[in-house]
Amino acid sequence: MSSNETSTFREAKVPLFDEDSDGEKEKEGILGRIWVESKKLWNIAGPAIFNRVANYNMIIITQASAGHVGDLELAATSIAVNVILGLDIGLMLGMSSALETLCGQAFGAKKHYMLGVYMQRSWVILFITSVVVLPWFLFTTPILILFGQPPEIANLAGVISKWLIPTHLAFAFFFPLHFFLQSQLKNKVIAWVSLVALVLHAFISWLVLYKFELGVISVVAAGNISWWIMVLGYFGYIVLGNCPSTWTGFSLEAFSGLREFTTLSVASGIMICLEVWYDKVLMLMTGILHNAKTSVEALTICLSINIWQLMFPLSFLAAVGVRVANELGAGNGKGAKFATMVAVMTSFIISVFFWLLIMNFRSKFAYIFSSSEVVIEEVNKLSPLLGFTILLNSVQPVLSGVAVGSGWQKYVAYINLGCYYGIGLPLGYLLGFVFNLGVEGIWAGLIFGGTAVQTLILTVITIRCNWDKEAEKARLHLRKWEGPNKRTEE
């Protein structure tokens, strides 16, 4: 038996989905199909929620630890982590999300060996990207001073940013490994590795800060260790034989087809970055209002609540991206459509629950963050906008996940650019500054002019989508992405 035949036989024995067939699904009825699809979605979304919360808590622990050193250290660390590293996360996460499309569709088509090749191509592209953007970390101080930050904060943030470079380099390997595992439903290992990293991060941060009293730099260094632990944990799991059909070792095929792969990676990066940077624009615009201090504090509280709740829709983004990509790769357009419907419905129900909590406790939840009556009153005014944002977040990220699973990143990047920066940003400025509506006007303009319009457009595109045609396109794309050394697995 040839090596190709051996590979085919081995991969044929790996079940793609549950044992139920399409015919069995039809016999189950609509409720039974929803139940089966929900289990598949939660099998991905559950560990993804835990992973995102754990990773976010690592950042929170770093900031909280810096706050125990001093106010200057807290301010500098917050800027370095939230702005400098935050924008970097958006770029690296976005570019690596091309793997959600390619690995997901390849796994659905049972071209399992290509998952390892795709991941290695992503490593090459992201590592080159990480080297190119190193000046962002090396010249943080002059960049922050240029944008009006106080010199003492900018100087310390510049030092901290240099210490964040190991974490920045870890992202080039972490995100491709993450999507490689997620696309083949290896979700439990993602959750376990995240848990180990979080516990070790908390322990190391406590050790260097309270036992050895090494200062804020030591806390940042602890973060470097934690992120590389996750990289090594993922990679160790893979190379120790737990992904026999998708990891067959390092391959020179990783250096073929890089031009096309880079095109999709860049489109994915632009799509995600335009969304991530949009939130940063809201904070920057609020910072130049007349009553900026109170407005920024109130907005920070609202956005903190929003980020915690956003873990659920973002996890469904990942889940529906995998499910749609798997089904399209398997040639099942109807399955991709049904997965989309169930994901949107589930995410919306969860978001309605959070919306009701916000509306019922709108005058109370701010006390978790502040005791200032002025700030609490401002949060109370912003609560309806927070609630509407939560409702939009129930649909918008899931539809973005559908776009990722279907390979529509380039088109969504154009939509994001037009909606967010062509409509939302000018409307926010008009309402906030020209009509003097303050932070409420800025946020309302960005939501109704940008996010709502983008969600409406993606909804129309998804409803009108010919899913059978998308499945055929996925099959053709997989042949193109395989490159010159492709194998035949039929």
Whole-angstrom CA distances from 321 to 93, 183, 337, 406, 413 are 14, 9, 12, 8, 16
- Higher pLDDT pick, 485 / 425: 425
Residue % of the chain over a pLDDT of 70: 89
Q: Is 282 within 8 Å of 299 (Cβ atoms)?
A: yes
- pLDDT at residue 22 greater than cutoff 60: no
Cα 442 to its chain centre, rounded Å, is 25
Q: How would you class 6 by CB atoms within 10 Å of its CB: exposed for 0-12, middle for 13-18, buried for 19 or more? A: exposed
**Res 30: pLDDT:** 86
420 CA to centre of own chain = 18
**Residue 143 exposure: Cα atoms within 13 Å on the Cβ side:** 14
Percent of the chain beyond pLDDT 90? 29
User: pLDDT tens-digit profile of 32-91?
Assistant: 899 999 998 998 888 888 888 888 888 878 877 887 777 778 778 877 887 788 888 888
Give residue 56's pLDDT. 83
Average confidence (pLDDT) over 199-221: 87
pLDDT of residue 370: 66
Read off the pLDDT of each residue in 288-305 and give the average, rounded to a whole number: 73
Got the DSSP string for 53-97? HHHHHHHHHHHHHHHTT-HHHHHHHHHIIIIIIHHHHHHHHHHHT
- Backbone φ/ψ region at 365: left (φ over 0), alpha (ψ -120 to 50), beta: alpha
Q: Average pLDDT, stretch 333-344?
A: 91
What is d(CA 415, CA 411) in angstroms, rounded to the nearest whole number? Answer: 6
Q: State if pTM tops 0.85.
A: no
pLDDT higher than threshold 70 for residue 184: yes
Distance (Å, rounded) from C-alpha 123 to C-alpha 254?
A: 9
**145 vs 74, higher pLDDT:** 145
Is the pLDDT confidence value at 6 over 80? no
pLDDT of amino acid 94 = 80
What pLDDT is recorded for position 369?
65
Task: Give the 3-state secondary structure of residue 433.
Answer: helix
Whole-number pLDDT of residue 456: 93
- What pLDDT is attached to residue 238? 95
Per-residue confidence band for 19, with pLDDT thresholds at 50, 70 and 90: very low
- Using an 8 Å Cβ cutoff, are 253 and 483 in contact? yes
Compute the distance between CA of residue 379 and CA of residue 383 in angstroms, rounded to an integer.
6
CA distances from 246 to 50, 120, 199, 250, 262 (A): 25, 12, 30, 11, 21
Nearest alpha carbon to residue 442 among 323, 303, 283: 283
Beta carbons of 431 and 353 less than 8 angstroms apart:
no
Q: Could you tell me where the DSSP H helices lie in 80-215?
A: 86-96, 98-108, 113-132, 135-138, 140-146, 151-163, 165-183, 187-206
Looking at residue 365, what DSSP letter applies?
A: G
CA distances from residue 456 to 400, 422, 461 in whole angstroms, order as listed: 12, 16, 9
- When pLDDT is averaged across residues 163-180 and rounded to a whole number, the result is 94
pLDDT-based confidence at residue 291 (cuts at 50, 70, 90): low
Instruction: Output the furthest CA–CA distance in the chain (Å, rounded).
Output: 76
Question: What would the mean pLDDT of 206-235 be, rounded to a whole number?
Answer: 89
